[in-house]
Amino acid sequence: MQTDLVQEARRQAEICNACRYCEGYCSVFPALHANRAFTDGDIAQLANLCHNCRGCYYACQYTAPHEFDLNLPAALAEVRRDSWESYAWPQPMARRFHTHGAAIVTALVVGFALLFAAIKMIGSAGGEGFYAALSHNAMVAIFAPAFLLPLASLGIGLRRYWRDVGGIGIRMSHLTKAFGRAAKMKDLAAGHGDGCNFEDEDRFSQGRRHVHQAIMYGFLLCFASTSTATVMHYVFDMPAPYPLLSLPKLLGVVGGIVLTLGCIGMIMLKRKSDPTLGDAKAWGGDMAFVALLGFVGFSGLALYALGASTAMPVLLAIHLGAVLTFFLLTPFTKMAHGFYRLAALIRDAQRVS
């Protein structure tokens, strides 16, 4: 990790440790106050525990123009992004995405969409519904590696993170507590339950918590839809296409709607928020990722609505191009933050057990 970012976060953490005014705000401060000195791994752990709710900044008496010039949310956000980039494999891709995210997403979606269109034109079709445009075997051959390779990349990065933060053997109680906190997203309520100040310094709101939940649960529903369809295809010999009242369609349509609305809400909130309290270098990459995720949900809904029309092959190429881009970029985008934050919550559960 970059030494200057870690050093600045360490300076601010030491001041916060002496003050302790924000002790009950979120998970960061109990973990911070448990230490007297902070290793690089400790700083990475604090950074990935932080949800950037910003309540501590607005409550702090040592922000600018005070000579201490504290801005802990921004300092931890910079370390958090740098930690994902440092642990990522291959590392150069992660750093380039956060500086050229929009261009990379656009180029890959367009490029993959043209590739799928070309496959259709040279005659790889076979089957009913979407498989009339792209055969089932072709989809599996393309998307199985695109799903598994990013998971392997994430595994390498998480292993590096776990080693640096001093992670130990994981027990079921650690997992239960961490997953429970992730499901409720309590830390986005800034500890007191009224919400956070992400949108406005003078107003508490649950808006950011709710759009995060919409994105997470919308994505999980879409993933459950795909998983259910896979089981139906291979275990019960029930290949697609499926009717509206089938489990894959119900999960996918509801998940697509919730995911799309959540991403739109997140973009609106980010545009309202103060960029100086986050990582300014990651803003473009974050927005590109949220837009890509929302487009995956929206294009899937459009494909379902117009799946019986002449526009289906074009929509399928665009949707699959977006999905393939999302999968391949997962270890290098903010999608990785969900995995690192869960690892941080597991490590924190170990600390208090």
pLDDT > 60? residue 165: yes
Determine the pLDDT at residue 219.
95
Shared domain check, 168 and 66? no
Shared domain check, 79 and 153? no
Determine the pLDDT at residue 130.
67
Shared domain check, 127 and 30? no
Shared domain check, 262 and 341? yes
Final residue before a domain boundary, out of 29, 56, 84: 84
Question: Average pLDDT for residues 182-191, to the nearest whole number?
Answer: 75
Final residue before a domain boundary, out of 84, 102, 133: 84
Helices 312-329 and 283-305 cross at an angle (nearest 10°) of 150
Cis peptide before 241 (omega within 30 of 0): yes
Final residue before a domain boundary, out of 33, 68, 84: 84
Shared domain check, 79 and 55? yes
pTM of the predicted structure, to 2 decimals: 0.87
Determine the pLDDT at residue 94.
67
CA-CA-CA-CA dihedral for 176, 262, 76, 85, to nearest 10: 90
Shared domain check, 11 and 110? no
Shared domain check, 166 and 279? yes
Determine the pLDDT at residue 39.
94
Determine the pLDDT at residue 99.
64
As a whole number of angstroms, the distance between CA 95 and CA 6 comes to 17
Determine the pLDDT at residue 348.
95
Shared domain check, 311 and 227? yes
Shared domain check, 71 and 104? no
Domain ranges, residue 321: 89-352
Check if the beta carbon of residue 82 is closer than 8 Å to that of residue 269: no
What are the backbone angles phi and psi of residue 274, rounded to the nearest 5°? -80, 115
Identify any residues that bridge with 196 across adjacent strands, giving them in sequence order: 205
Shared domain check, 103 and 226? yes
Determine the pLDDT at residue 190.
59
For the chain, the average pLDDT equals 86
Tell me what percent of the residues of the chain surpass a pLDDT of 70. Answer: 90
Q: Where is pLDDT greater, at 102 or 242?
A: 242
Shared domain check, 341 and 250? yes
Shared domain check, 205 and 295? yes
pLDDT band per the 50, 70, 90 thresholds, residue 310 = confident
* Highest mean pLDDT of the ranges 136-140, 189-193, 287-291: 287-291
When divided into structural domains, the chain yields a total of 2
